[in-house]
């Protein structure tokens, strides 16, 4: 597919990952049409459709005349399970219905999550899998991309974790033999751009950085300490402690109506022993390869954090692995 003059409809373009995707697509020659909940000064009016994934008229306007759809909107935290499914499953169903209303073949790239590989772990994981399935159920053969944990400049959740290095202790889960993987947002964006130019309909791919076999939590903590030049002591905590913290956060979330990041479901994800990704699950190397090593990506993220010590909170609807 020739991107010259082509137009991409992008959901989730105003969160954390979305701007990385937009910049990469624009550099590749695509024009971007955004779905935005409200007018934004950083989005020219002619490039933005005001509305959300519940607004059928807005979705029709978003998709009208475009060449490719990139669905990157989604909730990574929610006040309850129903909110996860509303954002991640129902939003996908609405977008799939809008794509069908176009009455023409329309390639769809879905930015999901590696968590969707294990839908029984949490409401988040189940809702992401349901969001993937929504396109197949509608008869659309979408290209599904499953990034692992995404980090990089602009990620408020990464910022919170990096701030922990300022203290005397850096807590991590104790998962004997467990493997975690990560990927920089710019590498995810490059994978999205590659599949916009060469869609892989009906196929699902996982995205990690070059370390596909993963790191232990201690190895990851060491990498974070090195990036932060921190002397914090690594403290491996057992699952019950994380469960207690998550339960307290859940009580606070119910009392305030605000979503908590660490929930019982998130604890299940953190303590899952295998987030590695063998080569056969990845995009073909001829189409895309990750370029940013973890040490380099973490150093860049730390530099962003130090330049913006109080980054603004992102909205509910953005992706992360």
d(CA 126, CA 122): 6
**Domain covering 7-151+182-209+276-291 in this structure, CATH number:** 3.40.50.720
Say which residues have a Cβ less than 8 Å from residue 313's Cβ, sequence separation at least 6.
Answer: 156
- Residue 111's Cβ-side half-sphere holds a number of Cα atoms within 13 Å equal to 37
Burial tier of 274 (Cβ tally within 10 Å: 0-12, 13-18, 19+): middle
pLDDT of 163 strictly over 90: no
d(CA 90, CA 312): 27
- pLDDT tens digits for 81-110? 999 999 999 999 999 999 999 999 999 999
- Quick one: pLDDT at residue 315? 35
Grade residue 1 by pLDDT with cuts at 50, 70 and 90: low
- Residue 315's Cβ-side half-sphere holds a number of Cα atoms within 13 Å equal to 15
d(CA 33, CA 7): 7
Closest by CA position to 181, among listed 249, 117, 264, 132: 117
- Quick one: pLDDT at residue 238? 97
Q: What is the mean predicted confidence (pLDDT) over 135-160?
A: 91
- pLDDT tens digits for 238-260? 999 999 999 887 776 776 777 77
d(CA 104, CA 82): 32
- Quick one: pLDDT at residue 2? 59
> 1-15, 32-46, 139-153: which range is least confident on average?
1-15
**Could you tell me the sign of the dihedral formed by the alpha carbons of 258, 116, 215, 19, in that order?**
negative
CA angle, 274 then 261 then 212, to 5°: 25
Domain residue limits, the chain: 7-151+182-209+276-291
- pLDDT tens digits for 177-233? 999 999 999 999 999 999 999 999 999 999 999 999 999 999 999 999 999 999 999
Grade residue 314 by pLDDT with cuts at 50, 70 and 90: very low
- Quick one: pLDDT at residue 321? 40
Contact 209, 43 (CB under 8 A): no
- Quick one: pLDDT at residue 260? 75
Mean pLDDT of the chain: 91
Share of the chain above pLDDT 70, in %: 93
Share of the chain above pLDDT 90, in %: 78
Contact 275, 183 (CB under 8 A): no
Contact 121, 269 (CB under 8 A): yes
Helices (H), the chain: 17-27, 56-63, 81-85, 91-101, 123-137, 156-163, 185-197, 217-228, 239-256, 264-270, 294-307
> Does 71 or 79 have the greater pLDDT score?
71
Highest mean pLDDT among 156-165, 251-260, 275-284, 298-307: 275-284
pLDDT of 299 strictly over 50: yes
Q: What are phi and psi of 193, to 5 degrees?
A: -65, -40
């Amino acid at each position: 597919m020739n991107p010259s003059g082509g137009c991409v409809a992008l959901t989730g373009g105003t969160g954390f990952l979305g701007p990385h995707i937009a910049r990469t697509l624009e550099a590749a020659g695509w024009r971007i049409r955004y779905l935005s909940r409200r007018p934004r000064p950083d989005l020219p009016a002619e490039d933005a459709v005001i509305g959300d994934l519940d607004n059928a008229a807005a979705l029709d306007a978003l998709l009208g005349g475009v060449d490719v759809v990139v669905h990157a909107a989604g909730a990574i935290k929610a006040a309850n399970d129903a909110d996860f499914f509303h954002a991640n499953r129902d939003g996908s169903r609405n977008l799939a219905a809008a794509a069908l209303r176009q009455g023409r073949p329309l390639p769809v790239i879905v930015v999901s999550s590696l968590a969707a590989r294990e839908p029984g772990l949490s409401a988040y994981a189940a809702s992401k899998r349901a969001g993937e399935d929504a396109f197949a159920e509608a008869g659309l053969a979408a290209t599904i991309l499953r990034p692992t944990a995404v980090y990089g400049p602009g990620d408020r959740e990464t910022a919170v974790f990096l701030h922990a290095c300022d203290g005397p202790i850096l807590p991590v889960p104790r998962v004997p033999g467990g493997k975690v993987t990560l990927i920089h947002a710019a590498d995810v964006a490059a994978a999205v751009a590659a599949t916009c130019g060469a869609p892989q309909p009906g196929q699902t791919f996982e995205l990690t950085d070059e370390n596909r076999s993963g790191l232990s939590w201690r190895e990851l903590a060491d990498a974070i300490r090195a990036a932060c030049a921190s002397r914090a002591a690594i403290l491996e905590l057992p699952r019950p402690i994380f469960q207690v913290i998550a339960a307290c956060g859940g009580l606070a979330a119910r009392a305030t109506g605000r979503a908590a990041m660490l929930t019982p479901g998130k604890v299940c994800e953190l303590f899952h022993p295998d987030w590695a990704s063998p080569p056969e699950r990845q995009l073909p190397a001829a189409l895309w390869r990750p370029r940013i090593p973890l040490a380099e990506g973490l150093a860049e993220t730390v530099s962003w954090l130090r330049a913006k010590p109080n980054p603004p909170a992102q909205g509910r609807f953005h992706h992360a692995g």
